[in-house]
Amino acid sequence: MKLNIALSSICVLVVGNYYAATEAKIDFQGNLNRIRTFRKVKSEVEESKKAWKFLVKVRDGTFFDSIETLDPAVTYDNHFELGDEIEVNYGVSATLHKGKSATRKIYATGTTTQAGYDLSTRVDLDVMDRSYVDLEFDVDHKESDFSACVDARASTDGSSFDVTTIKGNYVRKTNLLDQAGTLAFTPRYDLSAGTKDVVVQYESGKTKAELKVSEEEKELKVQYKLPFRNTIGVVLSDNGVKHTLIDYERDLGDGGSLTINYKDKVALGKWSDGHGWVAKASADVDSNGISNANVRIGKALEF
């Protein structure tokens, strides 16, 4: 069995706050709460009072290019009020190198509330390709738990305007078998790819389930919380065992976690102590045994 071990570090110089997403977990389709997410980000910016962020990363202990490997980037986020009813959030993000992963982006988001409906519009411009802008239009009615969003792309010279995706979401409380829960219904249309599907989510107590139905595939995701802060989940597809995924997660307390999942004959694991240290492991697992094992250990630093 071949085992590769690498040390890695992520050094994050932040003037403000740094946020990281959880990896190696069953990805349940979230409800369409982009407006509510915007409110949370805005609140965090207000609390920090620091809009500039500078990030530097070192991945897997490898150095192919002294500048691009560090992936230095700078971001700026701020907001202001336009009159008494419209809030505007804006910002820029840019990598400080000219490699293949270089990005330069500008965005602005405006939100308002009218007759109980939260309305939001977002514009994104890729400075490195100024031929188009990406647009997001959102509506959210909290009292009825209904929300919808439309994504579009428009050319900057005004020659074209194309709607790319349309999504709707409706959530209602349930009491199946005297168990309180929620049921969410989400139809989705991807006009650019010519596909459509429907996602139905149910959550009650220790159980969370999601069914996605499309012309190409039917997929079921189920997750159940076990005693002693353990969680196990499985993903089943009518396309066969190849797309089956088994997911295990344990809450280690104090922000730490252990996650293991298996998909397409590959086992992935992630351990975090909740204080910056992270270990990731992967291996091919099949009837012939375990092969091509990799382990990476690193620590995230924030200044």
Instruction: Give pLDDT tens digits along the chain (303 positions).
Output: 444 444 444 444 444 333 333 334 566 655 555 666 666 666 655 555 557 777 666 554 444 455 556 667 888 989 999 888 899 999 999 988 777 778 899 999 999 999 989 999 999 999 999 999 999 999 999 888 899 999 999 999 999 999 999 999 999 999 887 889 999 999 999 999 999 999 999 999 889 999 999 988 898 988 888 887 788 888 888 876 545 678 888 989 888 999 998 877 889 999 998 887 888 899 988 888 888 888 888 765 443
Token pair in block for residue 283: 């291996």
Distance CA(193)–CA(242), nearest Å, equals 24
Distance CA(274)–CA(271), nearest Å, equals 9
* φ and ψ at residue 39, rounded to 5 degrees: -60, -40
CB 108 within 8 A of CB 121: no
Distance CA(185)–CA(57), nearest Å, equals 39
Reference 263, options 279, 283, 238; nearest CA is 283
Partnered with residue 162 across adjacent β-strands are 153
Distance CA(139)–CA(152), nearest Å, equals 15
132 by Cβ neighbours in 10 Å (0-12 / 13-18 / 19+) ranks as middle
Reference 188, options 219, 166, 156; nearest CA is 166
Distance CA(89)–CA(283), nearest Å, equals 43
Token pair in block for residue 121: 């519009």
Q: How far is CA 242 from the centre of its chain?
A: 24
The reported pLDDT for the residue numbered 162 is: 96
The reported pLDDT for the residue numbered 95 is: 85
Distance CA(91)–CA(87), nearest Å, equals 14
Q: Which DSSP string do the residues of 52-118 spell out, in sequence order? A: EEEE--B-TT--SSTTTTT--EEEEEEEEEETTTEEEEEEEEEESS-STT--EEEEEEEEEEETTEE
Partnered with residue 205 across adjacent β-strands are none
Partnered with residue 83 across adjacent β-strands are none
CB 97 within 8 A of CB 57: no
The reported pLDDT for the residue numbered 2 is: 47
CB 167 within 8 A of CB 146: no
Sign of CA dihedral 177, 238, 249, 232: positive
CB-based contacts of 213: which residues, under 8 Å, 6+ apart?
A: 197, 198, 200
The reported pLDDT for the residue numbered 45 is: 57
